Structure 1
Amino acid sequence: MQDLAPAWIAILSPGVAIGVALLADRWLGEPPLRWHPVAAMGQALAWLGRWAAPPAHVGAEQRWGPWGRGALGWMVGAVVVAGGAALLAGLVAFVPLWLQAVLLGLLLKPLLAWRMLHQEVQQVETALAVSLQAGQAQLSRLVSREVSSLDEAAVRQAALSSLSENLNDSVVAPLFWFAVAGLPGAALYRWANTADAMWGYRGERNGRIWTWAGHWAARADDVLSWLPARLTGVLLLGWGSVRRVRALPQQARRTPSPNGGWPMGALALALNVRLCKPGVYALNEHAAAPTPSCTQRAIVLCSHTLWLAAGLLAAAAACVAALRQGAGA
C-alpha cells in the first residue's frame, strides 16, 4: 500500500496542478510584466519579426525568403520555450511529492488568463454605460481591429466575440495541451498563439508585410487550436439543446478562422444573440443584438464552461499520467 502512494500522487498531480493554476489566477491575477513568460514571448516575437518580415517600403513582397525566416524563427522560439518549460518541470520533480503539484500549478498559471479576460470584457460594458467613446477606447485594449466606427451594439458584439474566442485561446487550449503534454505542451501552445496574434496577418501591419512571414505561425496555431476550440464550443453550449449543438458546425464555418467560429458561434447560440463583424461574419444573424445584461450572462456562462473543461481535462491528465506510469512499470 505504501508503494502505491507515490504512484497515485504522480497520477493525480497534473489534475491538482490545473486546480492550483485556476485558483492562483482567481486570487492573484497576472504576475508583473517583467516576470511574465507570455510578455517575454511577445518581446522575442517582436525581435524575430523585425528579421522575418520585410519592411513595407521594399516594394513587391518575395515569398520564400520571408516564409523561411518566419518558419525558422517560430521553430527556434518553440524549442527554447518548450525546452525551458521542460527544464522547469524537471526541477519540480526534485521537491517532495506533495509540493510538486502546487509548484507545477504556479508555473502553469502565467500561461492562462481568465481573470484578466473577463475583467477586460466587463470593463467594456462599464465604459459603454458612460459613453460610446469610452466603450470604444476600452474595446481597443481587447481587440486589434479598428473600433472608432463601431456603434454601441457592435462594440458589445466585438467584446463578447473576443470573450468566447479567448476563452479557448487563453484558458481552455493551454489547459488542454497541459493535460496532453505537461508544462512544455502548455508553453508551446502559448508561444504558437502569441505568434499568431503578432504575425498571423495578411498584407501590411505596423510597417511590415506579414503575408508570408506569418504564414507558418498562423497555420501552426490553427493546428494546435483545432481540438480545444471544438471542445470549448461544445462545452459552452452544453447538452441542453440538441438543436443548437447540431447548428454549431454551420455557424462556425461562417468565420474565416477554422477555429474561432466554434466558441463564438456557441456563445451566440447559447445566449440567442447575434454576433457580427461587419463584412467578415454574422453568427446567429437572425437573433437580436446583445443587450447590456448579456455581458454578465456571457461571463457567468464562460466561467462555468471553464470549470467544466478544467474538470474534464484534469481527468484526462490523470489518465495520461496513469498510462505513463503503466508504460514505465
Structure 2
Amino acid sequence: MTLFFAMILDALLGEPKWLWSRAPHPAVLMGRLIGWADKRFNNGSYRRLKGIATVAALSVGAVLLGALLSQLGPVIEILVAAVLLAQKSLVQHVQAVGNALRLSLAEGRRSVAMIVGRDTAEMDAPAVTRAAIESAAENLSDGIIAPAFWFLVAGLPGLLLYKITNTADSMIGYKTARHQSFGWAAARFDDLLNLIPARLTAALIALTHNGQNDWHLIRAEARRHRSPNAGWPEAAMARALSVALSGPRSYDGQMRDFPWVNPHADRAPGPDAIDSAVAALWRTWATALALSLVIGLIVCFF
C-alpha cells in the first residue's frame, strides 16, 4: 500500500516550489555527487574500469541509504517515494509546451528546450509537438513506471538504486569522447534496470488505449529504435495518439536521420496532440495506481 499512497501524494503535490527553493531536491544531490565523481575520476587511463567502480560505489551507497530510510517507518517510505516519483511534474512540463505553442512558435521552442536535449532553435511547430510527446512517453517510463516497479520489487533500496543509476546515465551515459568509456557502465546498467519497466510502460499505454492488437507493431518499431528501451513507450504512445514520432532531428548542430515511429500516421501534429498525450499520461498513471492498490491488498491479506 506504500506505493499507492506515494503515487497519490506525488500526483497531488508534485514538486512544491516552497520546499525545493529552500532545500536541494534529492535528484539535485545525486547530480552533484555524480558530477563530483566525473571530475574526480574521469581522467587518465582505465576510464572504463573507473566508471564501473563509480557505478558500483553509487549503487551500494543507494541501496544502503534506502535500507536505512526504510527502518524509519512507512510514513518516511511514502514521503521519499513520492519525492522520487514525477507524475505531476511531468504532466506540467509537457502541458506547458502545448500551452506555449498556442502562443507562438518561439514560446513553444523555449518551453520544449526545458525537457529535451536536442537542438530546438530551428524546430517547426510539428517538431516541437513531437519532441514534447516523445519526452512524455520516455519520461512516463523513466520517471513513474520504472521507479514504481523497482519500489515494488525492492522497496526504497530498489527505488534509490534505480534513481541514482538513471541520473548517472543522464549525466555521463553518452557516447562522447569524454564519457564513452567512463559512462559505459552507467549506460549499460540503466539499460538493464529499464528493460522490464519500458516494456511494462508500453503495455500499459497500449491496454489503456485499445492498442493491444497492435502489440506486434509496437514491438517491431521499438526494436528499430536507437534506444533498447525508450522505443517501447514511444512506439506505444505514437499508436495511442495516431501520430508519427522520432524521425530526423538535430543534436549539437548535426542533423541525424533517425527512422520514424508509426511512420504512416500524422507527421504534423499540433498542440491538441500534446493535450492528448497529457491525457494518456493520466490514464496510464491511473491504471498503474490501480495495479499498485491490487498488489498492496494482495500483500496485506496473503
Same-fold status (TM-score > 0.5) = yes
Using the alignment, how far apart are the partners of 2:11 and 2:259 within structure 1? Answer: 33
| Match of residue 78 from structure 1 | 59
In the TM superposition, residue 19 of structure 1 has moved relative to its aligned partner by 2.1
Aligned equivalent of 2:133, options 160, 168, 181: 160
In the TM superposition, residue 322 of structure 1 has moved relative to its aligned partner by 7.4
CA deviation profile, 1:200-220 (whole Å, cap 9, x unmatched): 10114xxxx111111000000
Using the alignment, how far apart are the partners of 1:223 and 1:316 within structure 2? Answer: 24
8 A Cα contact 1:175 1:310, kept in partner: no
8 A Cα contact 2:133 2:277, kept in partner: yes
Aligned equivalent of 2:197, options 228, 245, 254: 228
1:238 alignment partner, SS class: helix
Change over 3 Å in CA distance of 1:232–1:171 after alignment to 2: same
What is the aligned-residue identity percentage?
A: 35
| Match of residue 217 from structure 2 | 247
8 A Cα contact 1:127 1:134, kept in partner: yes
**Structure 1 gaps, min length 5:** 1-14, 55-61, 93-99, 324-329
2:260 alignment partner, SS class: strand
One-letter amino acid of the structure 1 residue matched with residue 265 of structure 2: A
Q: How many residues were matched structurally?
A: 288
| Match of residue 29 from structure 2 | 40
In the TM superposition, residue 317 of structure 1 has moved relative to its aligned partner by 5.4
CA deviation profile, 1:130-154 (whole Å, cap 9, x unmatched): 2222211111110111111211101
8 A Cα contact 2:99 2:271, kept in partner: no
The structure whose Rg is larger is 1
CA deviation profile, 1:205-247 (whole Å, cap 9, x unmatched): xxxx111111000000000000011000011011724431221
Using the alignment, how far apart are the partners of 2:47 and 2:105 within structure 1? Answer: 40
| Match of residue 6 from structure 1 | none
Change over 3 Å in CA distance of 1:46–1:224 after alignment to 2: same
Q: CA RMSD in A?
A: 1.9
8 A Cα contact 1:271 1:298, kept in partner: yes
CA deviation profile, 1:242-279 (whole Å, cap 9, x unmatched): 43122110111121111000000000011111112411
1:253 alignment partner, SS class: helix
CA deviation profile, 1:136-190 (whole Å, cap 9, x unmatched): 1111110111111211101110110000100010011000000000011011101
| Match of residue 226 from structure 2 | 256
1:275 matched to 2:245? The reply is yes
8 A Cα contact 1:200 1:215, kept in partner: yes
Using the alignment, how far apart are the partners of 2:11 and 2:146 within structure 1? Answer: 18
* TM-score, normalised via structure 1 length: 0.83
| Match of residue 151 from structure 1 | 124
Residue correspondence of structure 1 range 165-204 to structure 2 within 5 A = 165-204=138-177
One-letter amino acid of the structure 2 residue matched with residue 107 of structure 1: V
In the TM superposition, residue 27 of structure 1 has moved relative to its aligned partner by 2.3
8 A Cα contact 2:225 2:231, kept in partner: yes
2:163 alignment partner, SS class: helix
**Structure 2 gaps, min length 5:** 249-256
1:88 matched to 2:77? The reply is no
One-letter amino acid of the structure 2 residue matched with residue 237 of structure 1: A
Using the alignment, how far apart are the partners of 1:274 and 1:116 within structure 2? Answer: 25
Using the alignment, how far apart are the partners of 2:264 and 2:154 within structure 1? Answer: 41
